[in-house]
Amino acid sequence: MLLSLIFRNAFRHKLRTLLTVVGLTVAVLAFGLLSTVVEAWYAGAEGASNARLVVRNAISLVFPLPLTYRQKIRQIEGVRGITTANWFGGIYKEPKNFFPQFAVEASSYLDLYPEYLLSEAERKDFQRDRKGAIVGEKLAATYGFKVGDTVTLKGTIYPGQWEFVIRGIYNGRDAKTDVSQMLFHWDYLNETMKIRIPRRANQIGVYVVEVADPSRVAEISRIIDNEFKNSNAETLSETEKAFQLGFVSMTEAIVVAIRLVSYLVIFIILAVMANTMAMTVRERTAEYATLKALGFGPRFVLLLIYGESLAIAALGGALGIALTFPVAVAFGNAMGTLFKVFAVSGATVALQAACALAVGFISALVPAYRAARVNIVAGLRSIG
Amino acid sequence: MSEPLISLHNIVKSYRRGQQTVPVLSGVTFDIAAGEFLALMGPSGSGKSTLLNLIAGIDRPDSGQLIVAGEDIGRLPEAALADWRARHVGFIFQFYNLLPVLSALENVELPLLLKDMPRRERRERAELALSMVGLSDRLDHAPSELSGGQQQRVAIARALITDPTLIVADEPTGDLDRESANDVLRLMQRLNDEIGKTIIMVTHDSRAAGHAHAIMHLEKGELSGREEVGK
Ligand SMILES: Nc1ncnc2c1ncn2[C@@H]1O[C@H](COP(=O)(O)OP(=O)(O)O)[C@@H](O)[C@H]1O
Ligand SMILES: [Mg+2]
């Protein structure tokens, strides 16, 4: 009877409760989406390895490194493998179609990235075709790329039109693997540049180095950087993870802003809900006074009010969480390949639930305290 | 005569309004025996409700001694007083004060939640109480689906259900038409006659007061005599 009393009270003003529930649902949904965006932002670094070093120009990522460094780095003791990558930054049809493209050393790149799963046949096809490219499955799905398709990119860093033939579509070993990239032959880039702008040929964006013993990664990065000290292109070596995080932190301010907004949304719904509860409880003062006259204690009144508030919050929260999943999928699709992973995490759901329940609890705090303490005679005089 | 059920000695009660204190009861003393049906009359603002609330244990006197059903209720702590009310007092209000989301049956059942009683027994008792007030065919009706008179009869069933020592009624017919008022008053009379409930009823309607055994008049915070109702 107590539970049914709580539920019937909650739905006494159908419209009021409905609006509150809708507000909560939207707030919890918005909170979930925003926190998923933030997570997606950091997911880039999460898939990164701690055993791979990225060696870049010490001045800035936009300056290249000489091709000659490859041999020198390869010879350092403790280095097991090396490959190269140049950020291409081409435009596919329209600038909004953003996805990462790298010109890589095709013979070695996939050896250093075992998390990119490609069939043996496709791998051979890719390596055989100088204009060949491979794309991640998410990227392929977004733009409908199929093996054998010709894809034309408009260069920005490397001017001109560039044509590629898709030779393979790779999958990710796990959810953290970036399956929204396009990889193609550095040789193709370099030979074309030799003709178009010869002084920009033979340049490497970054070297990716595999260290035999991951615990020696810091030591080896120092050895590499020392090797090129006082040369005209000093290097900065850091783990891939540190490298990615550095990239992410450039946008730290945006992430902080998003986090702030997501909590603001919860705060607003808290204010709305607290107002609703205050109004509701005030209207029922005479009922609470009646219950107390009949001998019910303050705890019973507290239970009724907290129960009602938490029931409404739980309903709105549950709906918001349930909606987060389909909306996140739609949102992720709409964002295309901007985020390599866009999935609602367990931590996000837990936070959503915690926020909803906190809203329910805090909203009831003051009204419940007042109602529990209401003077019976004064309460009975107030006609709802 | 044996020990009175209710014994008031020199009860003083005043309210504060801002800086000012408004005296309401200035030394009220009287006894009520068990089994009485007493009407409390007086002009509006004379302190009838205040006096009734004190006897019912929902308000406290400033001074004086207030012994009801063997308990010095002026001195009981809050929680003990609530338990005492649940055991000894049945309430009938002018505006019925039923919970609008509960059915007639559930409203009557409500006070039994405070007793340790299985659900089945609660139901049975509530049905019995509603049949006593002639509402067996309205068990599942919400208060909003009942007339004022019917709602007040539900409230009477609720006041009865715990078999209290005392029933207090503050203007129980104040919101009813004559016919419904008569139904309610006859019902209260029967409770007094047939099961010997002690009833104190506040009213300013002398016809309503005519249903009681005795009438007490309250004027300017003082009792001005008791008048037996001739049968
Ligand atoms: N909570 C209160 N605060 C201030 N004054 C009150 C309060 N309750 C009652 N009074 C005053 O006490 C007097 C008696 O009230 P009440 O017992 O309700 O009278 P009655 O029921 O006889 O009409 C009135 O003058 C009323 O204004
Ligand atoms: Mg009154």
pLDDT (0 to 100) of residue A384: 47
When pLDDT is averaged across residues A50-67 and rounded to a whole number, the result is 88
Bridge-partner residues for A84, per DSSP? Answer: A207
**Verdict on whether the full-model pTM lies above 0.90:** no
What's the B151 CA to ligand 2 centre distance in angstroms? Answer: 20
The tokens describing B154, both together, are 């539900």
Name residues whose C-beta falls within 8 Å of residue A203's C-beta, 6 or more positions apart in sequence: A64, A65, A66, A67, A86
**B80 pLDDT more than 60:** yes
Q: Which two tokens stand for residue B48?
A: 């009838």
Q: A43 falls in which pLDDT band (50, 70, 90)? A: confident
Mean pLDDT score, A347-355? 96
Residue B134 CA to residue A216 CA, distance in Å, equals: 91
What pLDDT is attached to residue B58?
96
Give residue A59's pLDDT band: very low, low, confident or very high (50, 70, 90): confident
Nearest bound ligand to the CA of residue B43: 1
Contact B86 A377 (CB under 8 A): no
Among B103, B113, B160, B166, the residue to mutate for chain A (most A Cβ within 10 A): B113
Looking at this predicted complex, what is its ipTM? 0.96
User: Does B171 lie at the interface with A, CB-CB under 8 angstroms?
Assistant: no
Which pair of structure tokens corresponds to residue A105?
Answer: 């050393």
pLDDT tens across A276-290, in order?
Answer: 999 999 999 999 999
Q: Under an 8 A CB cutoff, do A5 and B56 touch?
A: no
Percent of chain A's residues with pLDDT above 90: 74
Q: Which long-range contacts (CB under 8 A, 24 or more apart) does A155-160 make?
A: A155/A88, A155/A89, A155/A90, A156/A89, A156/A90, A156/A91, A157/A87, A157/A88, A157/A89, A158/A88, A158/A90, A158/A189, A158/A192, A158/A193, A158/A200, A159/A196, A159/A197, A160/A192, A160/A196
Decide if A133 contacts A109 (C-beta within 8 A). Answer: no
Average model confidence (pLDDT) across chain B: 93
What domains, with CATH codes, occur in chain B? 6-226 (3.40.50.300)
- Closest-CA distance, B27 to chain A, in angstroms, reads 21
List the domain boundaries for chain A.
2-43+251-381, 59-233
CA of B59 to the centre of ligand 2 (A): 14
Residue B220: pLDDT over 90: no
Q: Given this model, what pLDDT does residue A307 score?
A: 97
Please give the sequence-ordered ranges of beta strands (E in DSSP) within chain A, or none if there are none.
52-57, 65-66, 79-87, 101-104, 116-117, 132-136, 150-154, 161-172, 182-185, 203-204, 206-211, 235-239
- A359 φψ region: left (φ > 0), alpha (ψ -120 to 50), beta (else): alpha
Which among B24, B48, B51, B170 is the best mutation to test ligand 1's pocket, defined by most ligand atoms within 8 Å of the CB? Answer: B24
Residues in chain A within 8 Å Cβ distance of B79: 297
pLDDT score recorded for residue B110:
97
Residue B20 scores a pLDDT above 70? yes
